[in-house]
Amino acid sequence: MWQLLAETSGLTMAHLEHRVYALDLEDGVHDGRRQARPTDCATCGAKVHPSARVCTYCSAQAPQRSIFDLL
C-alpha cells in the first residue's frame, strides 16, 4: 500500500517517517507505541476509557473513535 501511495502521490519515505514520529508523540512519549487517551463524557464529564462504548458512570453513548485510535 505504501508503494502505491509513494508512486501516485509524490510522498517520500521521509514524509512517512516524519508522520510516524509525530503520531508516536501524540501520547506524549516517544516509545514506538501510541496509546489512546480517555475522553470526557459529553453528558457527565467523567473520563471514558478509549475502548468503552458507553460511559461507566451515566451510560451515555461514548464518542465514536476511529479504529486507528484504538491501535
Residues that bind Zn ion in the complex, under the rule CB under 5 A: 41, 43-44, 46, 55, 57-58, 60
One-letter-per-residue 3-state SS of the chain: CHHHHHHHHCCCHHHHHHHHHHHHHCCCCCCCCCCCCCEECCCCCCEECCCCCECCCCCCECCCCCHHHHC
Residue type, 35: Q
Closest to Zn ion by CB, 16 or 58: 58
Closest distance to Zn ion from the beta carbon of 64 (Å): 15
Closest to Zn ion by CB, 44 or 71: 44
Closest distance to Zn ion from the beta carbon of 59 (Å): 7
Closest to Zn ion by CB, 35 or 61: 61
